[in-house]
Structure 1
C-alpha cells in the first residue's frame, strides 16, 4: 500500500498548464467558448464563476495594466474576467512582446500594401491582353475600358474594376472558355496556390485538341473551378464533343434544334391536351428554391419553355413536380458564363442580349435532358425509381447505423416520409444552391452519379445527423427535423466531407451484396 501511495504521489501533477501538455484541438468553425469574445452572452449584473486567485497574480496584472494602454474600452465585467484569467506576467517581458507585435504588424501591412500595388499593375497589363482576346470572341465580355473609365471616378469603382480583372482567366484558353465569369454565391476570395494550380490543370486539359474525358472526370470529382465549370459540365453531361474543333458547330446545331421544338410545340400549351401540364409548370416555378432568379419574368418565361418542351417530348413521364428544380443549377452555371457578377441571384437576367439568353436556355434544356435520361424512372407513373431507391436507402442505413435505423422505426418514422424528396429533387431542397452545384460536379464525374451514387450520398447525409436524430424523442419532432435540416450555412467543405463518406460507403457496399442486405 505504501508503494501504491508513492506511485500516486509520483504521477501526481499540478493543475497549472505546462508547455507540451495535451490540449483540446478546435477547428476554426467551432472554437472553444471564450467569455472575453462573447461578452454579450453574460447577462448584466451577473458575475462569472469565481476561482481562487492568488493575490500575487492580481497585483501582477495591476502592475501590467498600469504600464500599458489598450485600444479597447473594457467594462467592469471584462476587468474582473481579465483579473481572474491573468497569469504571473513580467512587465518588461510584456512590453517587449507588445513592441514586437506592433513591429511585425507594421511590416505585414507594408508588405500587403506593396503586394496589392504590384498585383494591380500586373492585372492592368493582363486586362489589356485579355481585351484583345475577347474582341475576337462572339461571347459577351464586359468592356475592359469600362472598368478603367470608372476607376477614374472614385475609389469604390476602382476596387470593383480590380475584382472583375481577377475573375478573368490568366492564360490562353479555347473560345468556349473565354468570357467565363467567376460564379460565386458568397464572398470571392483570391485564389490560393492550390486552387490556381487546379485551374491551370483544367485549362490545359480543356484547351487540348481532344479533351481526355476520363482525366476530366478525375479532376472534376473534387470540384470544378467556377471559371471553367460551364464548359466542363457541357462536356461531362455529353452535350459537347471532346474534339475542340467540333464544339462550336455542335452548339449551333443543338441550339437551332431546340428552338425548332419551341416553334413546333410551344403554341400548343393552351390546347386541351396540354393545358393541364402547362398550368402545373406555371404553378410550380414560383415554388422553386428561393435562391434562384425565379421571380424575374424573363426567368419564368425561360423555365416554362424548357419544362414544357421536355414534357411534350417525353410522354412516358410527362411533367412531374420536382423536375422543375433540376433546371436551376444548369441555368445558374450557364448564366455565369456570360456575366461577371459575384452574386448571380442579384443579377438582372433581362439585361443580357436576347441571343445570349437563347444560348443559355438551349444549353440548359439539353443538359437537363441528359441528366433525366439516366433517372427517368424516377418520374414515370407511380415513380417506381424513387420507391426503389428509398427502399434501398432504408436497407443501407440499417446496415451502416442500426441504432439510427431502429430509432426511426421505434417512433414510426417511414423513410418515404422524408427521403422521397431527397430522391425526387436530388437533395436540392435540403442544401443551399451553392452546395448543390458543388455536389453536381461530383455527380457528373461519377458513373451513374445522379442515380446510383446519389443513394450513398443520401445515406451519408442521414447518418451525418445521427446525434440530433437520436435526441428527438417523438414522431413529430423527428419528422420536422428531417424535413428542415440545418444546412443553411453549409459550404464546399461540408459537401466534400459528405462526398468522401458516400464514396467510402460505396466502396464498402456497392460490390458486396452480402454486406448490403441482411
Structure 2
C-alpha cells in the first residue's frame, strides 16, 4: 500500500515550488520545438492556474498542436476551417439544405426569374422528400437523429448546474450550451458506431471550459472548434468503453473494470477481498436488481461495477468539484500512453485513501461512500496514484 508524503495531506505546496514549476513550464513552452516528454513531466504535477497556459498545454498533450511552434498557425487555421465545414454540413436543417440545393441548381438560366425559395412539386427529388425512407434522404437522416439531439439538449442543460458558465439565462451561458450541443451532434453524426452516449457532455465540459477561458481572445473565440477535435482525440482512448457491443469483452467497460479489480488486489489484497465479500451481499437485495438494470451489468460478476462504472466512463467528472477535476485532468492528459492507465491508478488510490472506512463497512454503507466520494486533498490523491505506477 502507498505511503503518505512527508508534508501533511492538506498542506499546499510551498510558494517557491509553485513559482519554480510555473517558470519551468513557461520556459518549456517558449522553445521553438517543444520537448513533449518534458512538458508531460511538468504538467503531470499540475499546471499552475496563474501561468495562464493550460489551454496550450492541453492542446499539446492531446496532440492537437504539434511540437513545432512554427506549424501552429497553419494547422489551427486548417482545423478550424474544417470544423466550420462540419457545422455547415451537419447542423443545417433539411429545409435549408433543400433550398441551398435548389439555388445551386438554378444556374444562370433562372437568374432573371422570380423565386420564393420553395421547390415546385415536380422538382423535389426522392432524396429531398420529407416522406422518403431512403438512407441518403436528408429528411430521413434528420428524423433519425432527432431523438439523439433531444437527449443532447437535455444533458447539456444539466451540465454543471452550479456554474454560471454552463447554466443560467445569460447570453454567455446560452452561447456555451449551444457550442456544447453543436460539438456533440457533429460527433454523433461522424461516429455512427457510437453516436452519442449519455454523459459525454460531462467529458466535453472541462475541455470547452479551459479553451473558452484562454487569455488569448482569438483562441477563446475558436474554443468550439478546438474543443471538438480535442474531444475526439480524448475519446479515442476510451472509445470501447462507450460501445455497447463491447460491454462484456476484454476491451469494453467490463474489461476495464476487471483491470481495476486486479490493480486493487495487487496493492491491497485485503481491501479487494472485503469489497468482493460485501458486494456478494447484494445478490439477494432489490438494490442489486435496480443497480444492474440501470447499468446493464450482469449480477453474477463480482467487480467494481457498483462504484467505479461512473468513475471510469465519465473520467471522474462527477466525483469532485470542477476546480479539482481540472487539476486531475492535468495528470490524466500527461500520460504518454493515454489517460486510461493513469485513470485506473487514481481510482485505485481513491479506494486506498478510504480503506479504513471500507473495511468496517457493509455493502450499503460502502456503496453510499463510494458513490458520494468524500472531499479529499487532490495533490495527495495524485501522489498516492503516482506511487502505484
Equivalence map 1:41-80=2 (5 Å) = none
Q: Judging changes above 3 Å, is the alpha-carbon distance between structure 1 residues 289 and 449 closer, same or farther for their aligned structure 2 residues?
A: farther
Aligned with 2:222 (options 339, 343, 359):
359
Who is 1:294 aligned against? 166
Q: Distance in 2 between matches of 1:396 and 1:330?
A: 28
d(CA) in 2 for partners of 1:236, 1:26: 29
Corresponding residue of 1:375: 238
Distance 1:193 1:477 in 2: 42
SS of the residue 1:321 aligns to: coil
Q: 1:435 to 1:410 in 2, by over 3 A?
A: same
Superposed counterparts of 1:110-259, under 5 Å: 192-226=15-49, 227-259=52-84
- Counterpart residue number, 1:127: none
Q: Secondary structure of 1:377's match?
A: helix
Show structure 2 runs of 5+ residues with no match. 1-5, 95-140, 168-172, 281-302
Q: Aligned with 1:271: secondary structure?
A: helix
When residues 287 and 246 of structure 1 are mapped into structure 2, their CA distance, relative to the original with a 3 A threshold, is same
| Structure 1 residue runs of 4 or more that deviate by more than 6 Å after TM superposition | none
SS in 2 for 1:311: helix
On the 8 A contact 2:33/2:69 being kept in 1, the answer is yes
Q: 1:44-90: CA deviations, max 9, x gaps?
A: xxxxxxxxxxxxxxxxxxxxxxxxxxxxxxxxxxxxxxxxxxxxxxx
Larger deviation: 378-387 or 418-427? Answer: 378-387
Distance 1:202 1:283 in 2: 39
Q: Measured at CA, do residues 408 and 231 of structure 1 come closer, stay the same or move farther in structure 2, by a change above 3 Å? A: same
What does residue 398 of structure 1 align with?
265
Structure 2 residue 164 is the aligned partner of structure 1 residue 284 = no
1:438 deviation in Å?
Answer: 1.0
The answer to whether the Cα contact below 8 Å between 1:281 and 1:307 also exists between their aligned partners in 2 is: yes
Give the 3-state SS of the residue equivalent to 2:92 in structure 1: helix
Q: 1:329 aligns with which of 178, 187, 206?
A: 206
Partners of 2:60 and 2:67 within 8 A in 1: yes
Deviations 1:150-197 (A, max 9, x none): xxxxxxxxxxxxxxxxxxxxxxxxxxxxxxxxxxxxxxx9x9333222
For CA contacts below 8 A with separation 6 or more, give which structure has more relative contact order: 2
Per-residue deviation at 1:26? 10
Distance 1:393 1:268, change over 3 A: farther
Quick one: which of 372, 378, 387 aligns to 1:484?
372
Deviation at 1:27, TM superposition (A): 4.7
User: Is 2:182 the counterpart of 1:305?
Assistant: yes
**Count of aligned residue pairs for this structure pair:** 303
Aligned-pair CA distance for 1:370: 0.9
1:436 is the counterpart of 2:325: yes
- Is structure 2 residue 339 aligned with structure 1 residue 450? yes
- The structure number with the bigger radius of gyration is 1
Quote the Cα distance in structure 2 between the aligned partners of 1:206 and 1:395: 38
The residue that corresponds to 2:194 in the other structure is 317
| In the alignment, structure 1 residue 415 sits paired with structure 2 residue 304 | yes
**Corresponding residue number in structure 2 for 1:501:** 384
Q: In the TM superposition, what is the alpha-carbon distance from 1:499 to its structure 2 partner? A: 2.2
Unaligned runs of at least 5 residues, structure 1? 1-24, 31-188, 340-352, 507-518
Query: With structure 2 as the length reference, what TM-score do the two structures score?
Result: 0.72
Shift of 1:426: 0.8
- Does the CA-based 8 Å contact 1:303-1:327 persist in structure 2? yes
Q: What TM-score comes out, normalization by structure 1 length?
A: 0.55
Aligned partners of 1:306 and 1:361 also within 8 Å:
yes
How far is the alpha carbon of 1:396 from its aligned partner?
A: 2.2
SS of the residue corresponding to residue 223 of structure 1 reads: coil
Q: In structure 1, what is the Cα distance between the partners aligned to 2:253 and 2:237?
A: 13
Deviation at 1:359, TM superposition (A): 0.4
1:471 to 360, 382, 387: 360
Q: Give the CA RMSD over aligned residues.
A: 2.5
